[in-house]
Each structure stands twice: as C-alpha cells, then as structure tokens.
Structure 1
Amino acid sequence: MGSAEHQKRAMVAKSVTRVGADIKEDDWLEKLKTCGFAPKMSTVWVLEGILYYLHHHNAMQVLQTIAANCLLTHTVLLADFMNESSASLSNSTYHFYSDWPEQLLPALGFLNVKLSQIGDPDAHFGLLHDSQNLFNKLRSLPRSVQTNPEDGSPCCRLYLVEASGFPK
C-alpha cells in the first residue's frame, strides 16, 4: 500500500441544505426527509453543544430517532455529553446529562462507542500542556468519583462521544 492509502479518507459534503426544524418536536425527521434527507444513505449526525440543552425526554427521543437509522444504513453519531455534576452547575440552563454515555448509547442500538474527555490523547487539541490544568486533574480521577477529593468540588466532565451503528 502506498502512503496515500494509509491516510484517512476525508468526507466532503456534496451540498448543504438548511432545514428549519425544532428537534424538540416530533416532526423534525420528516422535515429533513422533505428537504432531501435519504435515511438509507450513510449518515453522520453531529450533535455538538446540543443535547444538554434539551430536556431528558427530548434528548432521548432525538437519540432514539438517530439510533433507529442504524437499522437502515451505516450511521455515525458525534456528540458531547455532560455528566450530572456539569449539568447541575447552571440554574436550569442544562437539562440532559449522562454519567455513562458508553452504556446509554448501546442500550439505544449504537455500537462501537468511543468515549474521550478533553485532554485525552485523541482529544488533546494542543491546548492542555499544564499538568495542573483542571481537565488533566479530572482525567486522573476514576469516573465513579463524583467529587474532587482535593477540594470537594463536583467532578464536572464533558465527554466527547463517537458512536456508530450498522444494519444487521
């Protein structure tokens, strides 16, 4: 194999279509279909900075709808999840959380769930060189720990999640 074959293939969209839809409503997927979304085509869903603003019921409906697409075609979900401590920092701004998205997503039908936290080797982004950085400190604590043993503050975690599914 040549070196070009070892490189990751870049996905490039042929076009972008903006669709006015509220994912808190039941008709958002139908609106996407009306504007050209084809459920049988491989799909990447990017839910960055979205889920935790939704109420639990709405976020679960969105995730279940996307997971149902895994039955039709190769589907990839890219999302960020807050844990409960992070979501409870703000007065009602954040609603949805999951302390264990790598258990939640397979229960909905996703496979191959990959979880990272900011600062992990695959989510470093060249920003976290200081070992005293909050993210570096949190990464060293077991996930079961809910409060920081140093000062009793909540262990606020932000998980970067990639999950995929395939028809059986």
Structure 2
Amino acid sequence: MDARAYRLGCLKECAVFELDFADLLDMKSDILHEAMSSGNHQKLTMMAKSLTRVPADIRDVDWMTKLQSCGYVPERNTVWVLEGILYYLHHVHAMQVLETIAACRTSACTVLLADFMNRNAASLSQTMYHFYHDSPDLLLPSIGFSQAMLSQIGDPQAHFGLLSHPQNLFEKLRRLPRSVETNPEDGTPCRRLYLVEASASPDDHTTL
C-alpha cells in the first residue's frame, strides 16, 4: 500500500489524491489509524499538504469526474503516478486512462510516472497481465506527451541500491538491446519492466 503522503517531505506543498477501490481505501485507512494510535508503532506524520482518498474504479469512464468532485483541479500542475497498475488493465482501459491524463495537458503542466511491461513480461500470466507495450517512450508522444524518458531497473537513474553483479538479472537485460527478445546466453525471453517519465504542457498543445 502506498504511503508517500506520509513519507516524502517534497510533498509538503502538494495536495495528494489517492484513487482506488472503496474497500481498499477503507482497509488502508483502518491500518494507518491503528498504526498512528498504537504505542507500539512509530508515530506517522502527514508530510503532504493534504491527502484526499477517492473511491473509484479507474476502468470506469467517470473516474476523472469523481476525482474532480473530491477537489482535484485540472488547471493545476499535476504529477500522475501509475505504479503497478497499467499491466493489470485490459488494453482499452489502459489506453483510456493514459489518454485522459494526456488530455490534461491542455490546461496545466502534466507529468506522468508509470511502469510498463513488455510483451514477454506480460506473457508470464495471460490471466493476470493484459496491457503491455514494447516501446512506451514512443507510445506516449503519440497520444500527446511531448517528452518521454525510459529507464530499466538497474539504470543509473533507477538503481535503487541494487548490487552490481554480472549475473544480476537486471544487469543482463540492460546489456541487451531492447530489440532483442530472447537472451542469446540461455534462450530465455527478455522480460522487461520499463519505468517511464513523460511530460506535457499547454505550450506543447498549442504547437501541435
């Protein structure tokens, strides 16, 4: 469960909105309340300026309307975090979400942080994973983002303290071009998880 609003000091001037299923938000609220009231836990302090939980299903077409009804203002600069969600959605729903976020660029600066599986990674479970893209850094500009930077786990900007070792799975994948689908060393599929940062602004929209 995400707890960025309680962990990141950089959010002190930010209004944070969490959108999820109602029952999950209720469960998370109960867990946090228990942690904050129990003497056996370190006291949690809200780091963000505010936190609003929005019960909604991101697969529904009205999720943005529900978000706005809870106080979200599209005209304000926004960072969208889609972590561990897109590949669970069917293609039509994932694209609807991405296009809805991209449309916000007409009124404010928009930054998207998301992770994408490639086709080989999604094939690990065809019942669990549905949406994938082998080139999200090309997909996002095609729907309105002006810039998209792609990283793989282990890259300098996405290292996360990993041990550097030639046998590390992430190191092996980084050494292979993204166009390579099968590892020539052992014949296994190259299953990649891409971390993507994309941005757009009203100025980009006016020049399209």
Tell me which interval the TM-score lies in, with the shorter structure as reference length. Answer: over 0.9
CA offsets 1:111-140 (integer angstroms, 9 cap, x no match): 221110000000011113212101100101
* Amino acid across the alignment from 1:90: S
> Are the aligned partners of 1:44 and 1:76 in contact in 2 as well (CA < 8 Å)?
yes
Note if contact 1:46-1:78 (Cα within 8 Å) is conserved in structure 2: yes
For residues 57-86 of structure 1, the C-alpha deviation after alignment (integer angstroms, 9 at most, x for no partner) is 000000000000011100000000000000
Q: CA deviation at 1:46?
A: 0.3
Q: CA deviation at 1:90?
A: 1.2
Gaps (5+ residues) in structure 2? 1-8, 15-48, 204-208
Q: Normalization by structure 2: what TM-score?
A: 0.75
**What do the CA deviations read for 1:137-160 (whole angstroms, capped 9, x no partner)?**
010101111111112111000000
* Displacement over 2 Å in runs of 4+: 9-13
Higher relative contact order (CA 8 A, sep 6+): 1
The letter for the 1-side match of 2:10 is: A
Contact 1:145/1:155, CA 8 A, preserved across alignment: yes
Give yes or no for the alignment of 1:103 onto 2:134: no
User: Which moves more between the two structures, 52-61 or 10-19?
Assistant: 10-19
Q: Which residues in structure 2 correspond to 1:24-63 (within 5 Å)?
A: 24-63=59-98
Partner of 1:4: none
Identity %: 65
Cα separation, 1, equivalents of 2:107 and 2:144? 12
- So what's the TM-score if we normalise by structure 1? 0.92
Q: Considering only CA atoms, is the larger Rg found in Structure 1 or Structure 2?
A: 2
Higher share of residues assigned helix: 2
Partner Cα distance (1:161, 1:148) in 2: 23
Asked if the contact 1:85–1:156 (Cα under 8 Å) also holds between the matched residues in 2, the reply is: yes
**Match status 1:133 vs 2:173:** no
Q: Quick one: which of 33, 53, 57 aligns to 1:22?
A: 57
Corresponding pairs, count: 160
Deviation of the 1:18 alpha carbon: 0.2
Q: Aligned partners of 1:160, 1:120: CA distance in 2, in Å?
A: 10
Question: In the aligned structure 2, how far is the partner of 1:143 from the partner of 1:115?
Answer: 11
Instruction: Name structure 1 gaps, 5 residues minimum.
Output: 1-8
CA distance in 2, matches of 1:30, 1:111: 25
Q: Distance in 1 between matches of 2:183 and 2:159?
A: 22
Q: Which residue identity does 1:44 align to in structure 2? A: V
